[in-house]
Structure 1
Amino acid sequence: MLAQQRQAAILDRVRATGGVRVGELATEFGVSDMTIRRDLDLLHERGLLAKVHGGATAAGSTDEPGFQAKSVRQQAEKAAIAARAAQLVRPGAAIALSAGTTTAELARRLVDVPALTVVTNSLPVAEILHGQGRDDQTVVLTGGVRTPSDALVGPLAVGAVRSLHLDLLFLGVHGVTDRAGFTTPNLLEAETNRALVAAADRLVVLADHSKWGTVGISSIAPLADAHVLITDDRLPPEARRLLTDRVGELVVVAGTGDRARR
């Protein structure tokens, strides 16, 4: 078993049981205690678990609210972020929208952009775009297992995405932190999102201020992988300073949704 596979299995165990012991993991995987400790050190540094004496426990949130529950949160901020993100889309582009309520807001602002090809693993995004009945717009919906956030994830989704080459990915995330980067509480969704990141020339992350400081159990990408991060003006000053240094471009919009500013 490769180190990455072993670490993913450790995270699965932590998520399922709430905690693990070094000795038990070493026996299960047929490696030394030192190897397991190095795995735990790496996962701890990424903010994915918390090291304790003799093992590790869960760190961050594994709670995954449903799409409807999330859709009523930070509505003005999400609308403003989506409006700014739509300005990055050019006619004829091949883009991807991950699952999420902010990406669904973005989809509503793309219905009039001509000749788009949109790849998505989000059922709400696909429904919004397909409902317009546009002949000049192509919507590609991946297959997969449906999550609480109405994302299609798993091997079918990953396989479909890996064959594609995209201009832009608009990525919605559960959490943003310095150590863990962009995260989600769903391990399969993280894998599908990583495939989307790899398929796109440019990564645009859509994350309102409430995502800052939240850690999902699985990392999607480090902060430095984002070419653009669009957020709102309620983001704390210290977070703005850090993100300005880490991401390619930080765009801060006014949360009222009627104007945007850098």
Structure 2
Amino acid sequence: MALNPRQRQLLDFVRQHETVSVEELARKFDVTPQTVRRDIKAMEEAKLLSRYHGGVGLASSVENIDYLQRQSLQLGAKRGIAAEVAKRVKPGCSLLINIGTTTEEVARALVNHQDLHVITNNLNVASILCDNPTSEVILAGGVVRKRDRAIIGEATSDFIRQFKVDIGIIGISSIEPDGTLRDFDPREVRVAQTIIEQSREVWLVADGNKFGREALVRMGHISQVDKLFTNIRPPESLMKIMKTSGVEAVIAAAKG
């Protein structure tokens, strides 16, 4: 879902207050309750908010959005992010690419690159890049999570530790205002942490819906990243942290 400015402000307001009534939101943003309900319905369908008796609150921080639904959310933004990543990947690079619908778009954008060496724990990424006859694709072992074809677990992390790559390209579910990076599955988080450790540079790919979103498990901090590829300017508090930490923000235009 691409949020308009009012919807983004509404979502930020709910995040600050945890639960809010429809009437309070209507007064705050000087719109009718019907307009607020339409906004809430759209964000509920995107699993950004949840309706409760008499009001609205944040969606679950325990469970991620369904994979098929995530594939279509912010698709133009993800394709724009992937195009910016692809511009910066040189022929002959070695890459670690992890789980996520945005990293899968990155794989599609790299399918015509020459002589890449890719290690991944994402069956979808491996399938996409296998169409590139000049690239080598190495698939990590481990437990396959059936809903999104991700490979996770201790065996996956142990396998990845054999390699040291030029660039690790990772996705994330949540970027908090203080720079904390979070996701939903501890096994997935441990693999992402290993990818960071084994990469000379770390590139984080995340659409704007990830800013301030709630998720359960801490993966790391934005200061561990070299470049953040996104589709909107990050919140100012986060930009200050990134500047202090030397993290480059790459803002991508959406692609159809």
Same fold (TM over 0.5): yes
Q: What residue in structure 2 maps to residue 167 of structure 1?
A: 166
CA distance, structure 1, for counterparts of residue 140 and residue 175 of structure 2: 26
| Residue 122 (1) aligns with residue 94 (2) | no
Pair 1:133–1:88, CA change in 2 (3 A):
closer
Three-state SS of the structure 1 residue aligned to 2:115 is: coil
Matched AA of 2:229: I
Please give the per-residue CA displacement for 1:164-185, whole angstroms capped at 9, x wherever unaligned: 1110011110110134621110
Matched AA of 2:139: L
Q: What residue in structure 2 maps to residue 113 of structure 1?
A: 113
Question: Structure 2: any 5+ residue segments left out of the alignment?
Answer: 1-58
Please give the per-residue CA displacement for 1:55-76, whole angstroms capped at 9, x wherever unaligned: xxxx971112333221010011
Q: What residue in structure 2 maps to residue 222 of structure 1?
A: 221
Q: What residue in structure 2 maps to residue 189 of structure 1?
A: 188
Three-state SS of the structure 2 residue aligned to 1:91 is: coil
Question: Structure 1: any 5+ residue segments left out of the alignment?
Answer: 1-58
Q: Normalising by structure 1, what TM-score? A: 0.70
Matched AA of 1:90: K
CA distance, structure 2, for counterparts of residue 237 and residue 155 of structure 1: 37
RMSD in angstroms over aligned alpha carbons? Answer: 2.1
CA distance, structure 2, for counterparts of residue 232 and residue 202 of structure 1: 21
Residues 176 and 212, structure 2, Cα contact 8 Å, conserved in 1: yes
Pair 1:205–1:71, CA change in 2 (3 A):
same
CA distance, structure 2, for counterparts of residue 218 and residue 246 of structure 1: 22
1:239, distance to aligned residue in structure 2 (A): 4.4
Q: Normalising by structure 2, what TM-score? A: 0.71
CA distance, structure 2, for counterparts of residue 67 and residue 124 of structure 1: 12
CA distance, structure 2, for counterparts of residue 221 and residue 60 of structure 1: 20
Residues 99 and 172, structure 1, Cα contact 8 Å, conserved in 2: yes
Matched AA of 2:206: A
Please give the per-residue CA displacement for 1:2-42, whole angstroms capped at 9, x wherever unaligned: xxxxxxxxxxxxxxxxxxxxxxxxxxxxxxxxxxxxxxxxx
Matched AA of 2:217: S
Shifted more, 65-74 versus 107-116: the winner is 65-74
Three-state SS of the structure 2 residue aligned to 1:87 is: helix
Q: What residue in structure 1 maps to residue 22 of structure 2?
A: none
Matched AA of 1:105: E
Residues 93 and 115, structure 2, Cα contact 8 Å, conserved in 1: yes
CA distance, structure 1, for counterparts of residue 83 and residue 154 of structure 2: 32
Residues 165 and 200, structure 2, Cα contact 8 Å, conserved in 1: yes
Pair 1:64–1:88, CA change in 2 (3 A):
same
Please give the per-residue CA displacement for 1:93-118, whole angstroms capped at 9, x wherever unaligned: 11011111111001011111111101
Residues 179 and 238, structure 2, Cα contact 8 Å, conserved in 1: no
Residues 181 and 220, structure 2, Cα contact 8 Å, conserved in 1: yes
Three-state SS of the structure 1 residue aligned to 2:63 is: coil
Residues 178 and 223, structure 1, Cα contact 8 Å, conserved in 2: no
Matched AA of 1:217: L
Three-state SS of the structure 1 residue aligned to 2:82 is: helix
Three-state SS of the structure 1 residue aligned to 2:88 is: coil
CA distance, structure 2, for counterparts of residue 184 and residue 247 of structure 1: 23
Three-state SS of the structure 1 residue aligned to 2:125 is: helix
Q: What residue in structure 2 maps to residue 70 of structure 1?
A: 70
Q: What residue in structure 2 maps to residue 141 of structure 1?
A: 139
Q: Percent identity among equivalent residues?
A: 26
CA distance, structure 2, for counterparts of residue 100 and residue 208 of structure 1: 12
State how many pairs are aligned. 197
Matched AA of 1:183: R
CA distance, structure 1, for counterparts of residue 237 and residue 248 of structure 2: 16
Q: How is 1:17-36 mapped onto 2 (pairs within 5 angstroms)?
A: none
